Amino acid sequence: EPEVTQTPSHQVTQMGQEVILRCVPISNHLYFYWYRQILGQKVEFLVSFYNNEISEKSEIFDDQFSVERPDGSNFTLKIRSTKLEDSAMYFCASKREGDTQYFGPGTRLTVL
């Protein structure tokens, strides 16, 4: 059964550094998403991406964040200058048509 994959599983970085989180969505999916979950809190929507452009973003997704689909298979989330409060699990999700989003296993980002 096809799955969303994410790398790395755990990323440790220093405050102020740039990080790129990578996702490979399910191959025939067209819509891509990033969510995050701070420890002990709700899963929160960050951004949705379709047809090579952002279709919606949350207040969290400020100028420090960007997304890209650099080739036909990868979908990335970049944080330009990490802050302590960016420490969280970051989940990528994808869907084809319809409403069901399928989530990856997540990347745990720790900012020191």
* Contacts to other proteins by CB under 8 A: 4, 6, 31, 33, 35, 41-45, 48, 55-56, 58, 89, 91, 99-106, 108
Pick between residue 87 and residue 104 the one whose CB is nearest to other proteins.
104
**Shortest separation between residue 94's beta carbon and other proteins, angstroms:** 11
Residue with tokens 């990528």: 92
AA letter at 43: V
**Shortest separation between residue 101's beta carbon and other proteins, angstroms:** 6
Is the CB of residue 54 less than 8 Å from the CB of residue 47? yes
Tokens of 35: 């969510």
Pick between residue 65 and residue 102 the one whose CB is nearest to other proteins.
102
Pick between residue 15 and residue 31 the one whose CB is nearest to other proteins.
31
Is the CB of residue 61 less than 8 Å from the CB of residue 77? no
AA letter at 31: Y
Tokens of 111: 């900012």
**Shortest separation between residue 67's beta carbon and other proteins, angstroms:** 14
- Lay out the sheet containing 75-79: strands in order across: 5-7, 19-24, 75-79, 65-68
**Shortest separation between residue 77's beta carbon and other proteins, angstroms:** 14
Pick between residue 14 and residue 105 the one whose CB is nearest to other proteins.
105
